[in-house]
Amino acid sequence: MAPLALFAHDLMPVPAKVQPGAGRLRIDGNFAFVQLNGYREARLETAAGRLVEHVARKTGIPMAPGIGVHAPAAPLVVYCDHASAAVQTAQEDESYRLTVTPLGARLDAPTPLGVMHGMETFLQLVGMDADGFGVPAVTIEDHPRFPWRGLMLDVARHWMPLADVKRTLDGMAAVKLNVFHWHLSENQGFRIESKRFPKLHEMGSDGQYYTQDQVREVIAYARERGIRVIPEFDMPGHATAWFVGYPELASGPGPYRIERQWGIFDPAMDPTREEVYQFLDAFIGEMTALFPDEYFHIGGDEVNGKQWDANPRIQEFMRAHGIKSNAELQAHFTRRVQTIVEKHGKKMIGWDEVLSQDMPRNILVQSWRGQKALADAAKQGVTGILSNGYYLDLGYSAAHHYAVDPLGEGAADLTAEQKQRVLGGEACMWSEFVTPELLDTRVWPRMAAIAERFWSPREVTDVADMYRRLGAVSRDLEWLGLTHGVEYEKMLERLAGGGPVGPVRTLADVVEPVKDYAREAAHPYDRFSPLNRLIDVARPDSDTVRRFAMLVDRMGAGDLPEIREWLMRWRDNQMRLAPMIANSALLAEDAELSKNLSAIAEVGLQALDRLQGAQPRAAGWIEEKRALLERARQPKGELILSVEPAIWKLVEAAK
Amino acid sequence: MAPLALFAHDLMPVPAKVQPGAGRLRIDGNFAFVQLNGYREARLETAAGRLVEHVARKTGIPMAPGIGVHAPAAPLVVYCDHASAAVQTAQEDESYRLTVTPLGARLDAPTPLGVMHGMETFLQLVGMDADGFGVPAVTIEDHPRFPWRGLMLDVARHWMPLADVKRTLDGMAAVKLNVFHWHLSENQGFRIESKRFPKLHEMGSDGQYYTQDQVREVIAYARERGIRVIPEFDMPGHATAWFVGYPELASGPGPYRIERQWGIFDPAMDPTREEVYQFLDAFIGEMTALFPDEYFHIGGDEVNGKQWDANPRIQEFMRAHGIKSNAELQAHFTRRVQTIVEKHGKKMIGWDEVLSQDMPRNILVQSWRGQKALADAAKQGVTGILSNGYYLDLGYSAAHHYAVDPLGEGAADLTAEQKQRVLGGEACMWSEFVTPELLDTRVWPRMAAIAERFWSPREVTDVADMYRRLGAVSRDLEWLGLTHGVEYEKMLERLAGGGPVGPVRTLADVVEPVKDYAREAAHPYDRFSPLNRLIDVARPDSDTVRRFAMLVDRMGAGDLPEIREWLMRWRDNQMRLAPMIANSALLAEDAELSKNLSAIAEVGLQALDRLQGAQPRAAGWIEEKRALLERARQPKGELILSVEPAIWKLVEAAK
Query: Could you read off the pLDDT of B341-384 as tens digits, one per residue?
Result: 999 999 999 999 899 888 889 999 999 999 999 999 999 999 99
Rounded Cα distance between B573 and B643, Å, is 14
Reduced to 3 states (helix: H, G, I; strand: E, B; else coil), residue A1 is: coil
CA distance A342 to B588: 64
pLDDT > 60? residue A70 = no
Flag if A128 and B586 touch (Cβ within 8 Å).
yes
Q: Read off the pLDDT of residues B184-237 as tens digits, 9 standing for 90 and up.
A: 999 999 999 999 999 999 999 999 999 999 999 999 999 999 999 999 999 999
SS3 call for B351: strand
Residues from chain A contacting residue B434 (CB–CB below 8 Å): none
Tell me if B128 and A527 make a contact (CB, 8 A cut-off): no
Give the burial class of B626: count Cβ atoms within 10 A of its Cβ; 0-12 exposed, 13-18 middle, 19 or more buried: middle
Contacts of A588 in chain B (CB under 8 A): 130
CB within 8 Å of A57: residues ≥ 6 apart: A479, A480, B437
Distance of residue B55 Cα from the nearest chain A Cα, in angstroms:
12
CB contact under 8 A, A527 and B62: yes
Residues B40-54, mean pLDDT to the nearest whole number = 95
Measure CB to CB from residue B583 to each of A130, A472, A586 and give the nearest one: A130
Please determine, for residue B45, whether its predicted confidence score (pLDDT) is greater than 50: yes
- Give me the catalytic one of A217, A286, A302, A520: A302
Mutation pick from A11, A128, A432, A467 vs chain B, by most beta carbons of B within 10 Å, is A128
Q: Which helix (H) or strand (E) holds B490?
A: helix B484-496
Nearest-by-Cβ selection for B62 from A58, A60, A530: A530
Other Cβ atoms less than 10 A from the Cβ of B386: the count is 32
What single DSSP character describes residue A249? Answer: G
Q: Chain A residue closest to B581 (CA)?
A: A130
Mean pLDDT along residues B280-289? 98
Which of A62, A130, A585 has the CB atom closest to B584's CB atom? A130
Q: Which residues of A touch B131 (CB under 8 A)?
A: 585
Q: How many CB atoms lie within 10 A of CB B376?
A: 18
Q: Is the dihedral of CA A159, A165, A171, A177 positive or negative?
A: positive
Residue A1 pLDDT > 50: no
- Do B530 and A29 lie within an 8 Å CB cutoff? yes
Q: Report the residue of A58, A63, A490, A505 to disrupt the B interface, i.e. the one with the largest count of B CBs within 10 Å.
A: A490
Catalytic residue among B141, B302, B409, B493: B302
Residue of A67, A531, A585 with shortest CB distance to B128: A585
3-state DSSP percent of chain A in helix, strand and coil, to 5: 45, 15, 35
DSSP designation for A15:
P
| Interface with A, mutate which of B494, B547, B581 (most A CBs under 10 A) | B494
* CA–CA distance, B257 with B239 (Å, rounded to integer): 11
Q: Among B28-32, B278-282, B300-304, whose mean pLDDT is lowest? A: B28-32
Mapped onto helix, strand or coil, the DSSP state of residue A474 is: helix
Rounded Cα gap, residues B597 and B591, in angstroms: 10
CB A78 within 8 A of CB A44: yes
**Are the C-beta atoms of residues B514 and B611 closer than 8 Å to each other?**
no
Q: In sequence order, what are the beta bridge partners of B383? A: B364
**With an 8 Å Cβ cutoff, are B206 and A66 in contact?**
yes
Contact A443, A480 (CB under 8 A): no
CB-based contact A528 B69, cutoff 8 Å: yes
Residue B44 near residue B115 (C-beta atoms within 8 A): yes
Q: Residue B94 in contact with residue B113, Cβ under 8 Å?
A: yes
CA distance A374 to B587: 53
* pLDDT score of A307 more than 60: yes
Q: What is the pLDDT of residues B555-567, one digit of tens each?
A: 988 999 999 999 9
Q: Say yes or no for a CB contact (<8 Å) between B129 and A584.
A: yes
Residue A414: helix, strand or coil by DSSP? coil
Q: For the segment B176-188, what is each residue's pLDDT rounded down to a tens digit?
A: 999 999 999 999 9
Judged by DSSP in three states, A644 sits in helix
* Helical H segments across B155-270, by residue range: 162-174, 199-204, 212-223, 240-245
Residues A77-98 pLDDT 10s: 999 999 999 999 999 999 999 9
Q: Quote the pLDDT of residue A72.
A: 59
Give contacts of A132 with chain B, Cβ < 8 Å: 585-586
Best B501, B532, B536, B572 residue to mutate vs chain A (most A CBs within 10 Å): B532
User: In this complex, do B585 and A128 lie within 8 Å of one another by their Cβ atoms?
Assistant: yes
Phi (first) and psi of residue A178, to 5 degrees = -135, 5
Give CA–CA dist B21/B386, Å, rounded.
Answer: 37
Contacts of B62 in chain A (CB under 8 A): 435, 527-531
Query: What distance in Å separates residue B582's CA from the closest CA in chain A?
Result: 7
Tell which residue, B439, B419, B421, has the closest CA to residue B430.
B439
pLDDT in tens, B76-120: 999 999 999 999 999 999 999 999 999 999 999 999 999 999 999
Residue B568 has pLDDT above 70, yes or no: yes
Whether B302 is catalytic is yes
| Distance spanning both ends of chain A, measured CA to CA | 49
Among residues A222, A260, A253, A261, the alpha carbon closest in space to that of A116 is found at A222
ipTM above 0.90, yes or no: yes
User: Does the beta-carbon distance from B60 to A584 stay under 8 Å?
Assistant: no
List pLDDT tens digits, range A547-556: 999 999 999 8
> In chain A, which residue's Cα lies nearest the Cα of B56?
A530
Looking at every residue in chain B, the average pLDDT score rounds to 94
Examine the pLDDT at A358 and tell me if it is beyond 90: no
Q: Please answer whether residues A262 and A526 qualify as being in contact, where contact means their C-beta atoms are separated by less than 8 angstroms.
A: yes
**Chain B hits for A58, Cβ within 8 Å:** 494
Residues B297, B154 contacting (CB under 8 angstroms) = no
Which residues in chain B have their CB less than 8 angstroms from residue A440's CB? none
Q: What is the distance in angstroms between the Cα of B192 and the nearest Cα belonging to chain A?
A: 18
Q: Is the pLDDT of residue B67 over 70?
A: no
Q: Does the beta-carbon distance from B130 to A588 stay under 8 Å?
A: yes
Q: How far is A495 from chain B (nearest CA, A)?
A: 9
pLDDT tens, position by position, A368-418: 999 999 999 999 999 999 999 999 999 999 999 999 999 999 999 999 999
CA distance B116 to chain A (A): 24
Considering only CB atoms, B486 lies closest to which of A57, A207, A486, namely: A486
Cβ contact, residue pair B586, A485, below 8 Å: no
Q: Cβ(A300)–Cβ(A334) under 8 Å?
A: yes
Residue of B159, B528, B586 to mutate for A, most A C-beta atoms under 10 A: B528
* DSSP-based three-state secondary structure for B393: helix
In this prediction, residue A3 has a pLDDT band, given cuts at 50, 70 and 90, of very low
CB pair distance less than 8 Å for B494 and A60: yes
- In whole angstroms, what is the distance from residue B122 CA to residue B107 CA? 9
Mean pLDDT of chain A: 94
Which residues of A fall within a CB distance of 8 Å from B33? none
Least Cα distance to B215 among B233, B240, B242 occurs for B233
Angle, CA of B340, B344 and B350, to the nearest 5°: 55
How crowded is the C-beta side of A601, counted as CA atoms within 13 Å?
A: 26
Binned at pLDDT 50, 70 and 90, residue B621 comes out as confident
pLDDT of residue A7: 59
* Residue in B129, B486, B489 closest to A585 by CB: B129
Q: What gap in Å lies between CA A11 and CA A178, rounded to an integer?
A: 18
